[in-house]
Chains A and B, each alone.
Chain A
């Protein structure tokens, strides 16, 4: 991808959003009936599907932990979901790192001690991407884990923040992500604990700006959190399973 230096000295972003505006978000729970729990999360043109299988038997045996079940995430971009050429199927170093970070982001809310020697598998697949993919994946995975009925202290919510020349932005998209001048800061946040479970930073950001940015991140994360909660409830409340209307 060619690096461009975009001058950001106009009042709005390239797509007309305000600095603190998120792209359009949408969430749906229960979209993969075969899975124990599943969810879809869309932010702008980034879509993540998450499917949870487990707790279930874990092979190979040497990976089993007799004190607790383990969480195993697998992040994968579908071959046609990248911005340029086709993405070769199979894992890459990037996808392995993201898979590991996603597990770490979700683990603090889970309690798997009831399931020793077992595994909870979370599969995240993206049919289309426009930056913020690991964040969309975490957001979808949290809903899918709740849908699977696991013990969870809270949902985990995630978004990608940006920084340019003292300017703080929420939810950077692909266009902004490509720009080398904009620093990319993906975060994941757990509201009831008021703590961050994912934090990465690429760029050059002074400390005061970082703290301001994280404060804004918390605020915007709550917008996504609300959508996650509504999507989970929509599967059950009023209507029957999967939104089918019931004549009560």
Chain B
């Protein structure tokens, strides 16, 4: 019977190849792998332990578009049947005509009237194929064209911490600075405030959360930081599920269905149809 040994504790930073545990009693989660009796880290990240399960919370890395993610995209091309958008990942996405707006778009309309090159939109991912062909939609609660604000880039893995448990961190920053803040899962954040000074405060707060996301006690520090920055009294919003959170709980995305839907790559278009160019005659029928 080999000894079960764990070499790391909660919140330890591990590097690729590092032996985090030995023995068959532990279960490696995503980002960790088993070689014989040893469990190794499979990327740079932070350890979170839940009973016998060892988890690795990534601290850096590229954003990978996932089904139902709300992301901020930038219009980079206007097609016959919609728009092509940049998603801050290796893969661009298509916003089809029928997903663009609840208004009726006439056939010969100038599409730039709706979304022009360089516009930023808050949209939702509705299809991700195994070849990473991605569709997004603007139809849904809260989805909109983003105006009168500035784009801030943060590490996509820090987004859950920026939003906070039940949105508490974001609410605290919004209340203190008076800015409207839209956070995309892809790490693009839109800040629109009543004045440049307040926008600068909101950006400073977001950057601070990004830098210190992996350290404990952040909420208290942010309260003090915001009070010093804005000169106003800041309340920490109450959160229904209280108590000490593990590192992975703090940094995990709030969507409960996320894990399940990531496995479902739905093929909405027939395999031969392509997104390249988008100029097709005659226009194809909507899938399903």
Contacts and interface: CB of A to CB of B under 8 A. Distances in A.
A155 B215 contact: no
Contacts of A118: 90-91
Interface string B183-204: 0000000000000000000000
Nearest to A111: B42
Contacts of B91: 57, 117-118
A56 B60 contact: no
B239 interface: no
Contact of A117 (B132, B157, B215, B217): B132
Given A117-B90, A152-B43, A232 B15 contact: yes
A66 B274 CA distance: 14
A146 B40 CA distance: 14
Interface stretch (A4-12, A78-86, A177-185, A238-246): A238-246
B62 A153 contact: no
A210 B46 CA distance: 40
B13 A240 contact: no
Contacts of B15: 146, 155, 228-229, 232-233
A106 to B, nearest CB: 12
Contact of B35 (A54, A109, A192): A192
A154 B40 CA distance: 9
Interface string B6-22: 00000001011110000
Interface in A28-86: 36-37, 54-58, 66, 69
B64 to A, nearest CB: 7
A109 B16 contact: yes
Interface in B189-239: 210-212, 214-217, 221
Contacts, number: 100
- Size band of the B side of the interface? 20 to 34
Does more than half of chain A's interface fall in helix, strand or loop, or is it mixed? loop
Interface string A172-197: 00000000000000000011100000
A100 to B, nearest CB: 23
B131 interface: yes
A192 B40 contact: yes
B64 A148 contact: no
Nearest to B45: A149
B26 interface: no
Interface in B117-143: 131-132
B180 to A, nearest CB: 26
A191 B16 CA distance: 11
Contact of A241 (B46, B58, B211): B211
Nearest to A192: B17
A84 B149 CA distance: 53
B17 A154 contact: yes
B33 interface: yes
A146 B43 contact: yes
Nearest to B212: A240
A115 interface: yes
A229 B212 contact: no
Interface in A190-248: 190-192, 228-229, 232-233, 236-237, 240-241, 244, 246-248
B59 interface: yes
Given A109-B16, A236-B13, A54 B62 contact: yes
Which of B16, B40, B131, B210 has the largest count of A CB atoms less than 10 A from its CB? B16
B85 to A, nearest CB: 13
A246 B42 CA distance: 28
B44 interface: yes
A118 B62 CA distance: 12
B132 A149 contact: no
A233 B13 contact: yes
Contact of B132 (A58, A116, A155, A237): A116
Nearest to A37: B60
Which of B13, B59, B210 has the largest count of A CB atoms less than 10 A from its CB? B13
Contact of A146 (B16, B64, B217): B16
Interface string A101-124: 000000001000011111000000
B61 interface: yes
Given A118-B91, A248-B215, 9 more contacts: A57-B92, A117-B91, A148-B61, A149-B61, A151-B42, A228-B15, A229-B18, A244-B211, A246-B215
8 contacts: A115-B90, A146-B43, A148-B60, A153-B17, A192-B17, A229-B18, A244-B211, A248-B216
